Structure 1
């Protein structure tokens, strides 16, 4: 019999998501907290009056926090991953074989 540890994110008695990693569960919970705050903030404006649209927009903004911060100028965009250069030892052995 296997023992499986699961981390459940729950809001207002409703199970939202299940994770196998505590760090992932904590990150998701933090994102939900952010979405709640954004929803309250959006509710103060008259731009989005429909509560369902406020919730959807708040969740979208929370899910894309890093991109939003980059647009707002508070965070740099992630640089594209560069291929790792061959180590000196690997490059030397490659050059020896070529010669």
Structure 2
């Protein structure tokens, strides 16, 4: 029998995702923190979002925080080729971009 260690990210009593390493779980938890703050900030905007849209947008912004940071610093869109290469070779901090990682959607 094999022993497997899983690091589970829990939010408001609900299991969100489990990972094979603590570093990955911490990165995902940090991304969820950022998405929560962005979601609250988007709710204060003058734009009326349908239910769930602001949460989805906040999560997308959190997942793409590096590109967002580039846009905010330079007032320019990141190079499309550079963005595509980032998706092909995932950054260690971008948990969502790691398709080969062992993670499971918690029930």
| Fold match (TM-score > 0.5) | yes
Aligned to 2:27: 27
Is it true that 1:63 corresponds to 2:31 in the alignment? no
Name the larger-Rg structure: 1
Partners of 1:43 and 1:50 in 2: how far apart? 11
Aligned to 1:94: none
Which TM-score applies when normalising by structure 1?
0.71
Task: Write the deviation string for residues 15-42 of structure 1: whole angstroms up to 9, x where unpaired.
Answer: 1111000000000000000000000000
The runs of 5 or more residues in structure 1 that have no matched partner are: 81-99
Q: Which structure is higher in helix share?
A: 1
Which TM-score applies when normalising by structure 2?
0.66
Q: Which has the higher contact order (CA 8 A, sep 6+)?
A: 2
Task: Write the deviation string for residues 18-77 of structure 1: whole angstroms up to 9, x where unpaired.
Answer: 100000000000000000000000001121432410000000000000010011117xx6
The runs of 5 or more residues in structure 2 that have no matched partner are: 86-107
Aligned to 1:73: 73
